[in-house]
């Protein structure tokens, strides 16, 4: 890990690192917020996965999460959304919903994507091992995300309930096997066998395996992607049918933006703190 930038923030430290990733076969950057408590003892961490077109800097610069994270004594680990670099393949038409900036937190199996687009392995294994070895972090983790990153947080948390204490999401893509964003990404990254898509679909996972970790979802009802892409009612139904510990909070007047995230990030951080601490 090489430090790129550092700034004092709400008493803690906001740091950007870069490193060579074995999972992604490229150079990666990620951001970390360490609360002031981390200067004296190890602290638990919330991993936040961002959405389409984003990098690690969107959440770190727009959400205002550091204030409450410092109060609670939580670290924030904020990865990028896809592999990066000139050697990494991208969508030929540079569409915003596929290729760089749109890794969908899966392990690609199709050429030419498989060599670099292994974001699932990176988030689950490589990045935690790296930061927990070199930063003052415990091995207690929670996971959250927004939009495509909300999909990633749900899937990764559901598939790795032994590694996380809790899951949350803003405006997640809940049922990507049945929406345009997911169908485009999955058919390219994973091929046309839809059975290979289901392990990366939160609704399919809950329907098959149930749900044990506590989940909190926040969704704005003025979100332009609500009906076609996000489908929160399907996640709510899956949780109810599984008798799972989960809640979907619907908010009148809020959209898909970081204004929405900034409005409810404190509620999500306090939700995770109950389980992490």
Active-site residue, 20 included? no
- Check if 256 is active-site: yes
Tokens of 110: 């199709």
Which residue in this structure is represented by tokens 């510990």? 245
Nearest to 83 by CA among 66, 59, 107: 107
**Residue 170: closest CA among 40, 26, 266:** 266
Question: Among this protein's residues, is 147 annotated catalytic?
Answer: yes
Q: Which of 116, 151, 223, 272 is catalytic?
A: 223
Secondary structure (DSSP) of 61-84: HHS-THHHHHHHT-EEEEE-SS--
In sequence order, the 6+-apart residues with CB closer than 8 A to the CB of 22 are 126
Instruction: Check residue 229 and report its DSSP letter.
Output: I
Backbone region of residue 87 per phi and psi (left: phi > 0; alpha: psi in -120 to 50; beta: other values): alpha
Catalytic residue among 116, 146, 256, 272: 256
29: left (phi over 0), alpha (psi -120 to 50) or beta: beta
**Other residues' Cβ atoms within 10 Å of the Cβ of residue 178:** 16
Among 119, 154, 146, 179, CA closest to 239: 154
Catalytic residue among 63, 147, 166, 168: 147
Answer whether 230's CB lies under 8 Å from 171's CB. Answer: yes
Enumerate the active-site residues.
147, 223, 256
């Amino acid at each position: 890990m090489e430090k790129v930038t550092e700034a004092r923030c709400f008493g803690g430290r906001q740091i950007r690192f870069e490193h060579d990733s074995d999972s992604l076969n490229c150079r990666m950057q990620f951001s970390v917020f360490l609360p002031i408590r981390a200067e004296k003892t190890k602290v638990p961490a919330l991993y936040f996965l961002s959405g389409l077109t984003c990098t690690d800097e969107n959440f770190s610069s727009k959400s205002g999460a550091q204030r409450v994270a410092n109060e609670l004594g939580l670290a924030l680990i904020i990865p990028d959304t896809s592999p990066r670099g000139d050697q990494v393949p991208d969508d030929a038409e540079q569409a915003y919903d596929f290729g760089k900036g749109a890794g969908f937190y899966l392990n690609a199996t199709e050429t030419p994507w498989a060599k670099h687009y292994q974001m699932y392995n990176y988030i689950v294994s490589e990045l935690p091992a790296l930061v927990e070895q070199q930063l003052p972090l415990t091995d207690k983790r929670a996971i959250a995300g927004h939009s495509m990153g909300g999909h990633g947080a749900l899937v990764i948390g559901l598939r790795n309930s032994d590694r996380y204490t809790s899951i949350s999401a803003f405006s997640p893509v809940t049922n990507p096997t049945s929406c345009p964003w997911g169908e485009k990404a999955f058919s390219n990254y994973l091929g046309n066998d839809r059975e290979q898509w289901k392990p990366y679909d939160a609704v399919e996972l809950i329907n098959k395996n149930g749900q044990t970790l506590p989940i909190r979802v926040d969704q704005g009802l003025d979100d332009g992607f609500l009906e076609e892409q996000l489908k929160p009612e399907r996640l709510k139904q899956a949780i109810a049918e599984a008798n799972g510990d989960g809640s979907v909070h619907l908010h009148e007047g809020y959209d898909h933006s970081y204004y929405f995230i900034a409005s409810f990030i404190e509620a999500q951080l306090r939700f995770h703190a109950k389980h992490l601490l």
